[in-house]
């Protein structure tokens, strides 16, 4: 459960988008619960969303960690394709279907392989890349090496990951403050960036050329963190997780620039989901929301009702369009719509050096 808005990162993202345009033949999505469309349905894990009331506005629970659509779903539709990439582990994701793209994201997954272990099963980024390697081999078997290389060169790749490395690793409540002192934030962020550099380079070596990397959103502002962080009040986000997210995001932007300089023919895009989500939270009323801290689906306990995950026994808000958060960790369909549209058409403050529509037109 990624937690948070993370965003994306949102690496939401998010931008996963774009297989949805005729100029983008396929879209390959990597990430966590912000963009998982059902892979966790097929593994033994506590991080699962294939039960009501999740998906209440999607038609049925599918494994999406929201009431309706993920950012991927929204961007694909806005670019003209109603069918986002299917989950890699679904039995039907076989044959020619994979030529249009595949979603490898997994709720609870992270950059570091130790991330999310409290959930049991999860598919971290290294294993997601392994799975893409299998898909790549199947694509070659379908169309041959030359055509496969052309498809991957034009395809869009998105990586929305990193939130769990903070929320379900470094800031997990079971980790003591003493343990955190042994690994200061800069050291932990260094480990994340170092690992991600290797992972993104590996993706490039397997044929990825258009790669959108989403940063980590303001995870200190999710309802769960407002509950468990003693420094956070009802009206305040948890400071330390947000400071660490900002630290990571600065390093991530530098990494994107580094990879653009060093990997010939690659175009990496930095999606600033932190900036977008923080703006929504600071100005929620102007976006039409009534609440920026209380989840729509939850149980009325604690400061903001963010202690217990959304489930069949949860209370659901009357008007889901008025809530930024669907559950203690994830944005609602309405919030995802705003994020997706800003990634599609936003300025360089939101997505750099190109927004999604510009990237599609390259």
Give catalytic residues, as residue numbers. Answer: 33, 327, 330
Concatenate the DSSP letters of all residues of 218-269 into one string.
-GGGSHHHHHH-TT--TTS--HHHHHHHHHHHHHHHHHHHHHHHHSTT-EEE
Q: CA–CA separation, 105 vs 124, rounded Å?
A: 8
Q: CA–CA separation, 156 vs 28, rounded Å?
A: 6
Q: CA–CA separation, 217 vs 214, rounded Å?
A: 9
Q: Which backbone phi and psi does 351 adopt, to 5 degrees? A: -150, 130
Q: Among candidates 200, 150, 213, which has minimal Cα distance to 354?
A: 213
Max Cα separation, the chain? 58
Confirm if 201 and 263 have CB atoms less than 8 A apart: yes
Q: Among candidates 13, 6, 9, which has minimal Cα distance to 344?
A: 13
Residue listed under structure tokens 């272990």: 117
Burial of 145 (0-12, 13-18, 19+ CB in 10 A): exposed
DSSP category for residue 270: E
Helix/strand/coil for 214: strand
Confirm if 359 and 269 have CB atoms less than 8 A apart: yes
């Amino acid at each position: 459960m990624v937690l948070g808005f993370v965003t994306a990162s949102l690496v939401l993202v998010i931008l996963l988008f774009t297989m949805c345009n005729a100029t983008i033949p396929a879209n390959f999505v990597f990430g966590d619960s912000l963009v998982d469309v059902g892979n966790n349905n097929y593994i033994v894990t506590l991080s699962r969303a294939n039960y009501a009331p999740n998906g209440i506005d999607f038609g049925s629970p599918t494994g999406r960690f929201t009431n309706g659509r993920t950012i991927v779903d929204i961007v694909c539709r806005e670019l003209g394709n109603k069918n986002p990439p299917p989950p890699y582990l679904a039995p039907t994701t076989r044959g020619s279907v994979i030529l249009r793209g595949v979603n490898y994201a997994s709720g609870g997954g992270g950059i570091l392989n130790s991330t999310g272990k409290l959930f049991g099963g999860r598919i971290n980024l290294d294993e997601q890349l392994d799975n893409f390697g299998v898909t790549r081999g199947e694509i070659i078997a379908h169309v041959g090496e030359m055509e496969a290389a052309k498809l991957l060169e034009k395809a869009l790749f998105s990586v929305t990951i990193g939130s769990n490395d903070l929320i379900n690793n470094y800031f997990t409540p079971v980790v003591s403050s003493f343990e955190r002192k042994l690994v200061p934030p800069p050291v932990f962020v260094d480990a994340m960036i170092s690992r991600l550099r290797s992972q993104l380079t590996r993706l490039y070596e397997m044929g990825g050329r258009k790669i959108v990397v989403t940063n980590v959103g303001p995870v200190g502002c999710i309802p769960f963190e407002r509950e468990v962080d003693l420094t956070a009040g009802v009206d305040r986000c948890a400071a330390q997780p947000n400071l660490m997210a900002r630290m990571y995001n600065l390093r991530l932007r530098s990494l994107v620039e580094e990879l653009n300089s060093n990997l010939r023919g690659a175009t990496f895009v930095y999606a600033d989901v932190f900036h977008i989500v923080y703006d929504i939270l600071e100005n929620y009323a102007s976006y039409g929301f009534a609440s920026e801290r209380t989840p729509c689906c939850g149980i009325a306990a604690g400061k903001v009702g963010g202690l217990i995950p959304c489930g069949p026994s949860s209370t659901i808000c009357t008007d889901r369009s008025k809530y930024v958060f669907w559950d203690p960790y994830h944005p609602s369909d309405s919030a995802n719509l705003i994020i997706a549209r800003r990634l599609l058409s936003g300025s360089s403050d939101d997505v750099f050096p190109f927004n999604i529509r510009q990237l599609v037109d390259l």
